[in-house]
Amino acid sequence: MATSYKDLGLVNTKALFAKAVRGGYAIPAFNFNNMEQMQAIIQACAEVQSPVILQVSSGARKYANQTLLRYLAQGAVEYAKELGKGRNVPIALHLDHGDTLELCKSCIEYGFSSVMIDGSHHAYEKNVELTRQVVEYAHKYEVTVEGELGVLAGVEDDVKAEHHTYTQPDEVQDFVKKTGVDSLAISIGTSHGAFKFKPGQKAEIRLDILAEIEKRIPGFPIVLHGASSVPPDLVVLINKYGGVLKDTAGIGEDQLRAAAKSAVCKINIDSDGRLAMTAAIRKCFVEQPGEFDPRKYLGPARDALKELYKHKCTNVLGSSGHAFD
């Protein structure tokens, strides 16, 4: 039987984005696949009073089981109420990189309040048509839809692109008008994963293209994927405790802060969380090799993740303190 996100206590992204655009901050979209990640996200956001988007990829659905994730998200709302003593931070449940209408429909039936239809690898007209179909279905249930124009370099939806195909500012107005999407993910030099820039490469994103896009669709909610910063201290920690990560760099936090102050109102972060958990777990394994209770290493990993997310909300996205705007 279909479940409405409203019955789960979730919200769609409409009001969240409108407030974020007005307030010059971005809503964090943190990916989760298990209970500890969910706990870290909710603990962090409840503590700093930030609205939050719980983000589920197709890979997460396969890993954790879609029914369990749905109940974890429902549990997240109840947990936030408990932590907020009844005054809970707003939580949206969002499908990350949906690739078909069927997948989006299935998520909406499972209680998602927001879906992404990523048609960015298709030709423009096909992207428009697919996105329009998802919007038509989703809006019947007041579920919000994120579309994408432009292709990020790196691996995106199992498709590997060598170079960025930047979003063309000339296309955005037409795309938004024809599809009716609620937000638009763009390609301005961010990329998925922990290896975004090679050593010596200038680690910068094209804030000039963002400004051009903003001129064409003023006030329209823009989304940045691939926005992990790959903190060097986490890479050092992982390698100190036996990891073999090569030299790498992510998106500068100052650049993300600048983007969040403009039309960017949703910033996706997954890889930095993976690094924080891995560093904490590796440290435990090396420092306490006799330990075999999973709570003894998943607990510190969860705590590290929570600190990372608090930092992101407060110092990078600027969403702290905006839960009840």
Q: Is 270 in the site for ligand G3H (CB under 6 A)?
A: yes
**Distance from C-alpha of 221 to C-alpha of 223, rounded to nearest angstrom:** 7
Among 59, 232, 242, 294, indicate the residue that binds ligand G3H (CB under 6 A): 59
26 vs 269 by CB, closer to ligand 13P: 269
Q: Annotated active-site positions, please?
A: 96
Residues 234 and 279: beta-carbon distance below 8 Å: yes
Among residues 39, 57, 113, 179, which is the contact residue for ligand G3H, using CB under 6 A?
57
Cα separation values, 117 from 3, 132, 145, 223, Å: 20, 10, 7, 13
Neighbours of 203 (CB within 10 A): 18
Note whether 272 binds ligand G3H by CB under 6 A.
Answer: no
58, 99 contact by CB (below 8 A): yes
Nearest residue (CB) to ligand G3H, 60 versus 108 = 60
Residues making contact with ligand 13P (CB under 6 A): 31, 96-97, 192-193, 225-228, 268-272
Cα 228 to the center of its chain, rounded Å = 10
Which listed option, Zn ion, ligand 13P, ligand G3H, none, makes contact with residue 59 (CB within 5 to 8 Å by class)? ligand G3H
Least separation in angstroms between residue 263's CB and ligand 13P is: 17
Rounded Cα distance between 52 and 281, Å, is 25
Rounded distance between C-alpha atoms, residue 154 and residue 267, angstroms: 18
Are 247 and 203 a contacting pair, CB within 8 Å?
A: no
Question: In this structure, are residues 88 and 77 in contact, taking their beta carbons and an 8 Å threshold?
Answer: yes
Taking the C-alpha atoms of residue 70 and residue 158, their distance in angstroms, rounded to an integer, is 24
Report the C-alpha gap between 70 and 57 in whole angstroms.
13
Which of the choices ligand G3H, ligand 13P, Zn ion, none does residue 232 contact, using the CB cut-off of 5 to 8 A by kind? none
Beta carbon nearer to ligand G3H, 182 or 272: 272
Residue 60 contact partner, candidates ligand G3H, ligand 13P, Zn ion, none, CB within 5 to 8 A by sort of partner: ligand G3H
Q: Which does 227 bind (CB under 5 to 8 A by kind): ligand 13P, Zn ion, ligand G3H, none?
A: ligand 13P
Q: Which does 228 bind (CB under 5 to 8 A by kind): ligand 13P, Zn ion, ligand G3H, none?
A: ligand 13P
Q: Is 146 in the site for ligand G3H (CB under 6 A)?
A: no
Nearer to Zn ion, 83 or 161 (CB): 161
**233, 181 Cβ separation under 8 angstroms:** no
Task: For residue 221, report the phi and psi dihedrals to the nearest 5 degrees.
Answer: -65, 120
The yes or no reply on residue 74 touching ligand G3H (CB under 6 A) is: no
Site for ligand G3H, rule CB under 6 A: 31, 57, 59-60, 96-97, 192, 270
